[in-house]
A = this chain, B = another copy of it.
Amino acid sequence: MATESTGPKFDTPLRIGVVLFPGFQALDVFGPMDCFNVLSWQHPNMTLSILAPTLDPVSTKSPVTPHAIGEQVVPTHTFASPPPLDVLLVPGGLGTRGSAPPLLAAIDFVRSTYPSLKYLITVCTGAGIAARAGVLDGRKATTNKHAFKEIAALGPNVHWVPRARWVTDGNIWTASGVTAGIDVTIAWIGEVFGEAFAQRLADEMEHTRHTDSSVDPFAELYGLS
């Protein structure tokens, strides 16, 4: 990609964080992270922190699918010792359900960290984590469409938007299910680094974008009004 002005919002380093917990959805993390990885080829002042309860690798396997296959990702920091962050990515997945201690630790981390963030991005049922952390109260947000009602019930004070590829409210960007995480991240890069830059990045990833956040074929498919 051609180099381009990075705009005034991140003259300082851009410090990305990702929250992991057992049973995270792989693509909820690596759709956005691939965008950020490619961004970092051009924007050298980036750091990535992968946060979890301990530094042990975290698996995409959740307790509810013990027979499933899964991949393990290595954290860089614990929730107890986080570095300063500008952007926090919160994925969804089967592991967002229930009250397993690592999940509760992730919810607590989102609650305590949100006030110091420039942006919070959630993907899929990751919005349920943000809702349980209380940071979506009074905000518009969306989530996975197949699990919409289940996740919406976790945040009775959230203005849930059933028909949206993603929703922005203030500095919180919430995406719909799984691959919507790619679209929300490219849209965020467009906001911060310019749309032309974001489109070139999408082209290099050969990604056919959803560019209109209000167009959502999956809301209709799953019977959401």
Chain B residues within an 8 Å CB radius of A57: 57, 74
**In the complex, which residues 24-38 of chain A have their Cβ closer than 8 Å to any Cβ of chain B?**
25-27, 29-31, 33-34, 36-37
Does any Cβ of B come within 8 Å of A130's Cβ? no
In the complex, the answer to whether A41 meets B68 with C-beta atoms within 8 Å is: yes
Does any Cβ of B come within 8 Å of A159's Cβ? no
Does any Cβ of B come within 8 Å of A11's Cβ? no
Q: How many residues of A contact B (CB 8 A)?
A: 49
**In the complex, which residues 1-49 of chain A have their Cβ closer than 8 Å to any Cβ of chain B?**
16, 25-27, 29-31, 33-34, 36-37, 40-41, 44, 46-48
Chain B residues within an 8 Å CB radius of A50: 71
Chain B residues within an 8 Å CB radius of A72: 73-74
In the complex, the answer to whether B221 meets A217 with C-beta atoms within 8 Å is: no
In the complex, the answer to whether A210 meets B207 with C-beta atoms within 8 Å is: no
A216's closest neighbor in chain B, by CB? B206
Does any Cβ of B come within 8 Å of A205's Cβ? yes
**In the complex, which residues 64-101 of chain A have their Cβ closer than 8 Å to any Cβ of chain B?**
65, 67-74, 94
Does any Cβ of B come within 8 Å of A188's Cβ? no
A208–B27 Cα gap in the complex (Å)? 14
In the complex, the answer to whether B206 meets A69 with C-beta atoms within 8 Å is: no
In the complex, the answer to whether A69 meets B37 with C-beta atoms within 8 Å is: yes
In the complex, the answer to whether A206 meets B176 with C-beta atoms within 8 Å is: yes
In the complex, the answer to whether A37 meets B60 with C-beta atoms within 8 Å is: yes
Does any Cβ of B come within 8 Å of A144's Cβ? yes
Chain B residues within an 8 Å CB radius of A27: 27, 30-31, 34, 182, 205
Does any Cβ of B come within 8 Å of A180's Cβ? yes
Chain B residues within an 8 Å CB radius of A68: 37, 40-41, 46
What are 18 A-to-B residue pairs whose CB atoms are below 8 Å? Answer: A16-B69, A26-B33, A27-B182, A27-B205, A29-B30, A29-B71, A30-B34, A30-B71, A37-B68, A40-B67, A46-B69, A47-B69, A48-B69, A177-B206, A178-B205, A178-B207, A179-B206, A206-B218
